[in-house]
């Protein structure tokens, strides 16, 4: 058997090796992923504005490491069980909420994405008191089984 | 040349291919990476407490997408040039700062890690005014060329 065949075989396997080790860039463009994150962020604001706990159930990762900090929080809220309770308490306290983020800053790194922006929060408590203010919000998402799920949400009032 | 040699060559290349495509689990344990993040977070607090802009230069990724929100910020500060200026302005305003995070919550996902915690900030402005308060801080790091660099830092006062 000629050496040429061995070289050809080796070259072919080498090519396959290179192709596997250096895969082509993902077909989904950065723009498409960025749009997916902007959408996930918007869906969250919609769920919050609708005071929809079932939507929160699908938006959040149900993990022990998820974190929330609300405008009135005194300590970080850690773990899905506690975070879910904090949403129930928020939804119970407000008669109306409307939240929207201006000019979200999005960064994606592999299976993690984060969004930072200013939010206008317009709320009315059940006791009739108005609660309207500007806030900073940071949201972190992880891509889990192909879905971008929220793993961190912090909101704090912009100081006067 | 015998077929055996071709099979041996193919098997060897196949083995190399598999070894490259399915690398063994990273040798650094989750605990070691977690310690690296805790350390990076602590180094940041030390740099802030020392009002050391040169340390900030090595701690932060010099990227357009980095973000900072300080306790007195009115809008998010975007991009390394602006973030660096904001540290210079902070260090210029304070005669003393001391910052330390209690019980940091750390999560690592591939080349991204984030830390959330309560911080006690003890400061004295150059005009003599004391500025001591509790704050929520979120820090995000990216592993770039083997180094964990800060890409986001937000701090906000815990409400009364």
Per-residue model confidence as pLDDT tens digits over B100-114: 998 999 999 999 999
Does the pLDDT value for residue A22 go beyond 60? no
CB contact under 8 A, A156 and B157: yes
Output B23 or A113, whichever has higher pLDDT.
A113
DSSP code, position A71: T
Residue tagged 């977070």 (tokens): B41
How does pLDDT run across A83-108, given as a tens digit for each residue? 999 999 999 999 999 999 989 999 99
| φ, ψ (nearest 5 deg) of residue A107 | -135, 135
Kindly indicate the confidence band of residue B31, based on its pLDDT and cuts at 50, 70 and 90: confident
CB contact under 8 A, B21 and A16: no
Residue tagged 């800060």 (tokens): B150
Q: Taking residues A118-143, what's their average pLDDT?
A: 96
Residue B132 CA: distances (Å) to CA of B128, B147, B159: 12, 32, 13
Report the residue from B14, B111, B114 with minimal CB separation from A110. Answer: B111
Q: Taking residues B93-97, what's their average pLDDT?
A: 95
DSSP code, position B64: T
Sorted by where each begins, the domain ranges of chain A are 30-157
d(CA B62, CA B60): 6
Residues of chain A whose beta carbon is less than 8 angstroms from a beta carbon of chain B are 1-3, 5-6, 9-10, 13-14, 16-17, 20-21, 65, 67, 69, 71-76, 78, 105, 107, 109-112, 114, 116-118, 136, 138, 140, 142, 151-152, 154, 156-159
DSSP code, position A128: S
Does the pLDDT value for residue B18 go beyond 90? no
| pLDDT for the residue A2 | 53
What is the nearest CA distance from B4 to chain A, expressed in angstroms?
11
Query: B30-157 — its CATH code?
Result: 3.10.450.50
């Amino acid at each position: 058997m000629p050496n040429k065949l061995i070289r050809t075989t080796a070259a072919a396997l080498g090519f396959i090796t290179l192709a596997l080790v250096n895969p082509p860039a993902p077909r989904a463009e950065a723009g498409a992923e960025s749009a997916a994150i902007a959408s996930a962020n918007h869906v969250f604001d919609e769920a919050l504005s609708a005071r929809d706990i079932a939507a929160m159930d699908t938006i959040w990762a149900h993990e022990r490491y998820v974190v929330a900090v609300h405008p009135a929080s005194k300590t970080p809220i850690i773990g899905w069980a506690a975070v879910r309770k904090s949403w129930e308490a928020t939804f119970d306290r407000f008669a109306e909420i409307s939240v929207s983020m201006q000019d979200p800053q999005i960064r994606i790194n592999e299976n993690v994405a984060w969004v930072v922006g200013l939010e206008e929060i317009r709320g009315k408590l059940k006791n009739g008191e108005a609660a309207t203010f500007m806030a900073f919000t940071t949201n972190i998402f992880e891509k889990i089984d192909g879905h971008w799920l929220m793993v961190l949400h912090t909101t704090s009032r912009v100081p006067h």
